[in-house]
Amino acid sequence: MRVLLVQALSMDDAPPERVYPIGIVRLAGILADLGHTVEVLDMNMAADPFGSLKERLLDFQPGLAGLSLRNVDPLGNRTSSLIPPFITAVRMVKVLVPEVRIVAGGPGFSLFPERVMREMPEIDYGFIGEAESSFPALVASLDAGGAPKSKIVTSSTPLDLHRYDPPARHLLDPTAYLSINSYVAPIGIETKRGCPYRCAYCVYPRLQGTRMRRRTPVSVVDEMEALHREYSVSSFHFTDPVLNIPDGHLEDICREILRRKLKIRWSGFMREDHIHEKNIALFEKAGCECFFFSADGLCDEALKVLQKDLDEQDILRAARLAAASEVVSVYHFMVNVPGETEKTVEKGIRLLEHIYDLHAEKKNLGTVVLNNIRILPGTAIEKIAISEGVIGPGTDLLYPVYYNPKPFETLRYRLQTLSLERNVFMWHEVIR
């Protein structure tokens, strides 16, 4: 079968931070190995995304088009949605190639499968969760003239990552992605899937499960070394929900990088209570270029509500170690969490000030990211928001909805002012 896999738009502004779509490239490689004719299009890389989609559809004439919805909106407090361009892409596929079968998937789709398909009857089938086994099975069934019983397919068996084959990068050259981002490395590497934590706002356990499935450190570094050798990739971002758990896994990856003397850089999201003097030195030595921290709560009360299983001292201990290194750190926090009071606001301000003080000497604080909580279905925050009347049981969460009730609805701007002031003063050596 002729299969076109499309990464739908996952950004809404410029300059964009583009991310190499490892999900659809892995699927493309699996299908190609099974004898199908496969092409891949990342609409995010095109100056004219819909013009590129039209050209590829007319030239290739696929029998099946798979569209991946990575994000339903850009997050970061924005109120714009990525659903309108996704709808437009789906309808363009159907108009230009009327007989094509349209399949949707990706993390964004997996959060709202019934809702998205209700909005877009042009979609023939949808996939929830991992599709490495179920999607090729669907293609084979359709190619043989059959059809699945359900229009929405849920992956029943999580992928064994000991049998993980790296994305077939020759089907989508990574080279064009290497020099376009300013915030995060565009080339992602998976070392594991699954997250055992139950953060109140997060959907990772729903998307990947709560059991961690790990690749071997050797296979991870094999992939990094191949990308470095074949495509000159020197900077990577590990895509794990939390990179430095379980203890020892990332450490073994770092030792393998050092054993091979690879001159590469990498980053990933770190859990604060798993950082200590010994492993942070190893991470730095093995090429870590940015510690991303996402404690999210600015005080003990907020951390408890967010179900982070952390406390303020965990955050400051990790910040102290990171600030003493030569590695840049980025901190993510959520603002106006349930139960916010004047007392918690003041505690949050003190925590931010302390973090800036720790990084002042080496000036190795990249930024502090402050967001309101995007309410997503099936999370504890959704239940809290309903119980408080912030949203109703019928609120359509497909489009951007944030938890940001009065009287602290402008708190984010106050904290952003503090953060920007401290950042500017730090770099320009202005003494307060």
Q: Kindly report the pTM of this predicted structure.
A: 0.95
Lowest mean pLDDT among 174-178, 326-330, 385-389, 428-432: 428-432
Sorted by where each starts, the structural domains of the chain and their CATH numbers stand as 2-154 (3.40.50.2300), 183-427 (3.20.20.70)
> Residue 55 above 70 pLDDT?
yes
**DSSP H or E segment with residue 332:** strand 328-334
CA distances from 261 to 56, 93, 222, 255 (A): 41, 47, 13, 10
> Residue 334 above 60 pLDDT?
yes
Rounded CA gap, 158 and 86, in Å? Answer: 27
CA distances from 16 to 68, 109, 330 (A): 18, 22, 19
pLDDT digits (tens, 9 = 90+) for 204-247: 999 999 999 999 999 999 999 999 999 999 999 999 999 999 99
> Residue 16 above 70 pLDDT?
no
Encoded amino acid at 412, one letter: R
Mean per-residue pLDDT of the chain: 95
- Positive or negative: CA dihedral 139, 140, 146, 151: negative
